[in-house]
Amino acid sequence: MEDIKAENSDSNDNSEIIEENITELEDISPNEEEELANNKDTQDDQFKKDVSEDLKNTISNNDARLEQLEKEHDTLKSQYVRIAADFDNFRKRQSRDQDDLKTQLICKSLTAILPIVDNFERARQQLKPETEEAKTLHRSYQGLYKQLVDVLKQQGVAPMRVVGQQFDPNLHEAVLREPSEEHKEDLITEELQRGYHLDGKVLRHALVKVSMGPGNQSTQDDSKMDTVEEEPSSENNLSEDK
């Protein structure tokens, strides 16, 4: 019973508070109501402005961050492209250097063999077998020479054909120069040592004799005639004394 009385007492108190608030609201004048409404609108506008400013700041910060990230991306991309290009150039340079080194080693080895080929060719030109035994030995020698030539061909070695060609310092080395009535100037008239190519590159320059042309011969003859006219020979002097 006491609990019921207490609850009734609380209910009565709440009712009194509500009635007082209603009484206070009824006591507010129309001007005060309008002022309260204006204050509420002002607060709402300010809240909207604050929210709008916050959104603008957030968007601006995001745009700045996005721009910064794009710049960093472009920088990293350019660095990647440059590093990739440098690596590709390095790889090509390494491959080219290895090929050059391989070619140099092959050239060095083949150049050491060429004098042996020269000796075989000299022997072939000088030897003239007459007996059957000498002919058999000569055929064996020719077989060895052919094997050696075949090995050089397999490696890409090819002999130069120079006689009758125009002299080229990139391919030939002039050992002798002589006047010639038959050949024009700077034409190769004789091969003194055979030159060789290796896959289109010069393995060994050819040692050659080069024509000076007919003009130089006539010039020398004229100079000799002038000398004879100025200084009579001893044979002429002897004939005059007789």
Rounded Cα distance between 171 and 49, Å, is 90
- DSSP structure class, residue 167: P
14's tokens: 């709440």
Characterize 100-121 residue by residue with b for buried, 16 or more Cβ atoms within 10 angstroms of its Cβ, and e for exposed: eeeeeebbeebeeebeebeebe
Q: Pick from 17-21, 53-57, 192-196 the range whose average pLDDT is largest.
A: 192-196
May I ask the CATH class of domain 157-231?
mainly beta
Q: For 99, what's the count of Cα atoms within 13 Å in the CB-facing half-sphere?
A: 6
Q: What is the mean pLDDT of residues 216-241?
A: 41
Who wins on pLDDT, 19 or 149?
A: 149
Give the confidence band of 227 by pLDDT, cuts at 50, 70, 90. very low
Query: 76 pLDDT band (50/70/90 cuts)?
Result: very high
Task: Convert the pLDDT of each residue in 108-157 to its tens digit.
Answer: 888 898 998 888 888 877 777 778 887 788 888 888 888 988 988 998 89
